[in-house]
Amino acid sequence: MTQKSFVVMAKPVGSRCNMHCDYCYYLEKGQYSEHERQTRMSYDLLETLIKETIGAAEGPVVSFVWHGGEPTIAGLDFYKKVVELERKYLPAGWQVWNNLQTNGFMMNDLWCKFLKENHFDVGVSFDGSAKVHDQNRHDLKGGATQERILRSIQRLRSFGIEPDILCTVNSKSCEDPLDVYRAIKATGCGWCQFIPIVVRMPDGTFSKESVSPEGYGKFLITIFDEWVRNDLGRIDVQLFAETARIMAGGEASLCWMAETCGRALIAEEDGAIYSCDHFVDDDHRLGMLQQKDLGEMADCDFQIAFGEAKRTALTKECQRCPFLKFCNGGCLKDRFGKSNTGEEGQYYLCPGLKAFFAHAQPVLEQVMKMSREGKTQAEIMASL
């Protein structure tokens, strides 16, 4: 058993994908050229991964996230094997939680049936209206995909699966945040998460799809205002829920908001294990699954120091910040800004986050107070 629980984000086909999105971070790493060479994780490796993940887990719930690239490229038989191996190694009384993060491109009835029967949670990447989604999310020929993904979301729902919507915040979506939000709402899904696109080029500039700190703040605030007045209890927005949870004395469950990180390891299709999906590089390769124990890699000094850096490398601005408890200095990947005292290592999106927390905190306080007083959500929304 490891010192602290961890989750494995497995990439059965590495970064291979059946779409080509402009802001994909494998572009940033120049890994698109590697796609052709990547194969699928072998069943032997898959068995080692599942056996060692379960062996290192505290239980009674063991989590697996199937990620990419596009994980459905591995094929349905691969996931049938996943389920078979999980059953083989899961101790009596334990449960497994599988989460498939997909672009939805290949979501047909066979997939939906399998995912439903085997209780997979599904996250679908969807950027909202066609105007925004089709700006960046293309098929391999450069064609639009929004309509097709929307059909996949509806197909999943028709099988009784409520997918989570993973929506990026990029330069295009910032132009009309409400258009994005209302398109997500129109899917009928009850949960969404916003993922900022920050792609820093080797010369220090940003890709044209990247969101600015100010744009990020404006996006969050605009959607928060719409949500809190109209959709309390109807749709959960991950960042808003996490902020409220922390205000109520709970702990962040998102790595970029938590005090430390480094407990979401990446397993590539060739068995290489990395510190984090944003650090799939030679410096952060913890070892090979074929040679080293997964639990030992999760707990090795390097990985512990990687996760601790989130706390130990805070700038003075962060240390003194009233919102530190909410974001804990933000994601390590994007700590290349300058603090208000000129210190290096400030979270790039900090100004946007500060604006959001300053705006949302008093409103959420009011919501929580009224809720404690027994007001209904309709009454709370009306009062706002």
**Which residues of the chain form contacts with ligand SF4 (CB under 6 A)?**
255-256, 261-262, 264, 276, 278, 310, 317-318, 321, 323-324, 327, 329-333, 347, 350, 353-354
* 335: number of Cβ within 10 Å: 20
CB-based burial of residue 257 (10 Å sphere; 0-12 exposed, 13-18 middle, 19+ buried)? buried
Q: CA–CA separation, 231 vs 226, rounded Å?
A: 8
- Say how far residue 266 (Cα) sits from the centre of its chain: 13
Backbone angles phi, psi at 213, to 5 degrees: -55, -40
Chain centroid offset of residue 29 CA: 18
The distance of closest approach from Cβ of residue 322 to ligand SF4 in the complex, given in angstroms and rounded to an integer, is 7
Task: Give the Cα separation of 210 and 215 in Å (integer).
Answer: 10
The least CB distance from residue 311 to ligand SF4, in Å, is 11
- Beta strands 137-139 and 19-21 are antiparallel
Of 187 and 339, nearer to ligand SF4 (C-beta) is: 339
Q: Whose Cβ is closer to ligand SF4: residue 95's or residue 253's?
A: 253
**Which residue type occupies 155?**
R
Specify the pairing of strand 95-102 against strand 61-66: parallel
Residue with Cβ nearer ligand SF4 (152 or 275): 275
Let me know: does 238 contact 254? Beta carbons within 8 Å. yes
Based on the residue annotation, tell me whether 277 is a catalytic residue of this protein. Answer: yes
Q: Which CB atom, from 333 or from 375, has the smaller least distance to ligand SF4?
A: 333
Q: How far is the CB of 164 from ligand SF4 (least distance, A)?
A: 17
Closest CB to ligand SF4 among 89 and 302? 302
Taking the complex as a whole, the smallest distance from the CB of residue 277 to ligand SF4 amounts, in Å, to 7
Min CB(87)–ligand SF4 separation in Å: 30
Q: Which one of 121, 134, 225, 277 is the catalytic residue?
A: 277
Catalytic residues: 277
